[in-house]
Amino acid sequence: MFGGLAAYLFGRQMMLLVEPTKTGRWRWHGVLICTERAHHPTIIEEFPQLAPHDVLKKWLYIDSYHDDFEPTMKRVEEAIARDDLRFGVHPHGKSERTLSRSRRRKK
């Protein structure tokens, strides 16, 4: 996903580790924290090093070159390990619309 590695825990996608792609399409080098926009204010209050990503605004981001990258990620990881419900998004399966389309093709 986006040239990165997704991490799941408790049935939710928690974060996406990203680095620049060979094609140069994505130039991100850090971690996208998967969360709902409604949780951004409380997460940013606790972790001010995180900010909405420039492109994927629904998720928070920290660049791996940030001075506080390691201590911030350690604290985020501890919150995720405690199953802090502000973190993570449930993966979406195929939508009913997509399933209907694929069923029609099989007929």
Q: How far is CA 58 from the centre of its chain?
A: 9
Question: What is residue 26's predicted lDDT score, i.e. its pLDDT?
Answer: 60
Q: Which residues contact 15 (CB under 8 A, 6 or more apart)?
A: 6, 7, 31, 32, 33, 34, 76, 80
pTM of the model: 0.77
DSSP assignment, residue 12? Answer: E
Strand order of the β-sheet with 60-63 is: 5-9, 12-18, 30-33, 60-63, 51-52
The 10s digit of each residue's pLDDT in 41-94 is: 999 999 999 999 888 888 999 999 999 999 999 999 999 999 999 999 998 765
Domain ranges of the chain: 5-106
87 contacts 14 by C-beta, under 8 angstroms: yes
Count CA within 13 A, CB hemisphere, residue 60: 27
What's residue 28's pLDDT?
A: 76
